[in-house]
A and B are shown apart, each in its own frame.
Chain A
């Protein structure tokens, strides 16, 4: 089952050049990554955020430098929206020189400034709660991205409970794309995320728009309250995973995949301002090509000290 987002008629106000750059950097980065996998140039696994790029892009200007961001397996967009460092990220994924975590973490385990991801679902939320406990009152918050499927993990509820009891600045961003790996939400989530948040007395805000400015306008006062009160907030984005879960493992019907494509922000943004979009699209494609060529040619990352010696 696919939850369908209602596309707003046009983009008003239009996205800034900066937003378009960020959106298109992420889109081309993820497409390039899938190609590198197809060519056998990357090993392991990867989870692309194709179709969901606008979520971290919309959120980024609402976040401050001293906020802490927790990400998950589908984290390249979260990372690039906060840190436009495609060289360091690709080097990490490819185990090349300049990797942001020395090639140890790879795609799912990044720690860069105040951005941290881990590959075990639900694990981050209690940790984000601890960081929020430390940050409470400072005006900074802890933001954690999780998927709809991750609401199956008990740790999510243990964290939400404490976050409300202790009035912590915890922003939970739910990317509800209607699926977890291969399992539709209808088969893995009883009730709704809104009602689950309500059960803890945690504020919940549902976003169906894919328009970054519109999303921000709705979120700004709520995120302000997270910092000022402080208090936890669950923001649920109704979104779509256009690509496979990882690579080549999409068992959805062609009709279903087509429906996800129809709600892609990309075509709508292109239509709204073809000239400007086209220019930035070409720029970012060229940038990603350059990143790919350069990083692919780099030597393998030298093991960090902890990995140099076999005891």
Chain B
């Protein structure tokens, strides 16, 4: 049984071993500390100066990563808490993403910015956010997120193969969960980019849920409760690529679609998924796509207040039940 953080760590080891062009930069990532969430453990001991603990300079290290990429190497930059990626916004959107096309010819920028993300840990308003939505719709930039169903090594390889900067979100709560493990009710399979989680043996689900990696466990809790308490069968789609929104399989037959997104309400990833799905599904939809988001609020430090603001299983269950009633 591998925890997600160990799985990511192994993928980084394998990647750096197989490709000597890959560099890793970030605050406190070197041994013995091995990063705030221990995802980079052992890498500096093994790969020397290709792994660098940096000063507190998020903007500059994103730029340094872009520079390494521009010069023909590849870079992974870790932002200790994704909240601080705001400090790197200029380098990512105005340099790294734009330079792939703004010089009138393709310029490869193989750069991955890893962003430990999300709340439910009581870290307070500046250490708990899910900022994916702020990076949606930036030309030249792709967004990915770690899930318990996707092989991280494949995702890293895929992101680098795009030759353009990618943000890679990793939910901090996911780090301690296990890869590929589901409770006995559900099974999963990969359909292209997307993981599909379904109830064994049922035909048509009452509702198809779509979410990103960090919300998988809360959504599964909701699916279980919907089944046992409301007798509603749900199926779940989890894409690893968040933006551009990839093709999501099997939706033509869906009776209802619900997108669940940990970002705060307003200008959300969920709304972007719905925007992509409406023209495709319009003729078959019986009601509007349901969007579930965190509240339009800062994320409080006190756990009982934080719980209410962020999307929880109970919110998902209520939203699905109400939409179908």
Contact = CB atoms under 8 A, between A and B. Distances in A.
Interface string A294-311: 000000110100110011
A95 B305 contact: yes
A94 B304 CA distance: 11
Interface string B296-322: 111011111100110000010000000
B282 interface: no
Contacts of A43: 121-122, 303
A69 B61 CA distance: 30
Contacts of A129: none
B175 to A, nearest CB: 15
Interface stretch (A150-158, A220-228, A229-237): A150-158
A180 interface: yes
Given A43-B121, A182-B28, A310-B308, A152 B301 contact: no
B59 A45 contact: no
A120 to B, nearest CB: 5
A45 B123 contact: yes
Contact of A104 (B28, B36, B125): B125
B127 A307 contact: no
B305 A105 contact: no
B309 to A, nearest CB: 7
A158 to B, nearest CB: 11
Interface stretch (B49-57, B106-114, B194-202): B49-57
B43 to A, nearest CB: 14
A99 interface: yes
A119 B304 contact: no
A189 interface: yes
A95 B308 CA distance: 14
A306 B295 CA distance: 11
A147 B304 CA distance: 31
Interface residues of A, number: 42
B278 interface: no
B55 A149 contact: yes
Contacts of A150: 56
A118 interface: yes
B33 A108 contact: no
B32 interface: yes
A103 B299 CA distance: 11
B27 interface: yes
A182 B28 CA distance: 6
Contact of B124 (A119, A182, A188, A249): A119
Nearest to A306: B297
Given A103-B302, A152-B57, A303-B308, A182 B126 contact: no
B185 to A, nearest CB: 28
Interface residues of B, number: 37
By DSSP majority rule, is chain B's interface helix, strand, loop, or mixed? loop
A183 interface: yes
Given A104-B300, A106-B122, A108-B124, A307 B32 contact: no
Contacts of B156: none
A138 interface: no
B59 A154 contact: yes
A10 interface: no
B308 A188 contact: no
Contacts of B60: 154
A122 B59 CA distance: 12
B125 to A, nearest CB: 6
A311 B295 contact: yes
A44 B123 CA distance: 5
Interface in A256-311: 300-301, 303, 306-307, 310-311
Given A43-B122, A44-B121, A120-B84, A303 B28 contact: no
A92 to B, nearest CB: 8
B56 A104 contact: no
Given A109-B125, A181-B28, A183-B27, A103 B300 contact: yes
B125 A105 contact: yes
A307 B56 contact: no
A44 B305 CA distance: 13
Contacts of A121: 56
A187 B27 CA distance: 11
B45 to A, nearest CB: 13
B301 A109 contact: yes
Given A43-B303, A95-B302, A122-B56, A109 B33 contact: no
B55 to A, nearest CB: 3
A120 B27 CA distance: 14
Contacts of B303: 43-44, 95
Nearest to B293: A311
A188 B56 CA distance: 8
B151 interface: no
Interface in B241-292: 265
9 closest A-B pairs (Cβ-Cβ)? Answer: A106-B301, A95-B302, A44-B122, A152-B55, A103-B302, A43-B122, A182-B33, A152-B56, A119-B126
Interface of B: 27-28, 30, 32-33, 36, 53-57, 59-60, 83-84, 87, 121-127, 265, 295-298, 300-305, 308-309, 315
19 contacts: A44-B122, A92-B301, A95-B303, A95-B305, A103-B305, A106-B300, A106-B301, A108-B124, A119-B124, A120-B83, A149-B56, A152-B55, A183-B27, A183-B28, A183-B30, A183-B55, A249-B33, A303-B305, A307-B300
Interface of A: 43-45, 92, 94-95, 99, 102-109, 118-122, 149-154, 180-183, 187-189, 249, 251, 300-301, 303, 306-307, 310-311
Given A120-B87, A307-B308, 7 more contacts: A95-B301, A103-B301, A105-B124, A106-B302, A119-B125, A182-B33, A310-B308
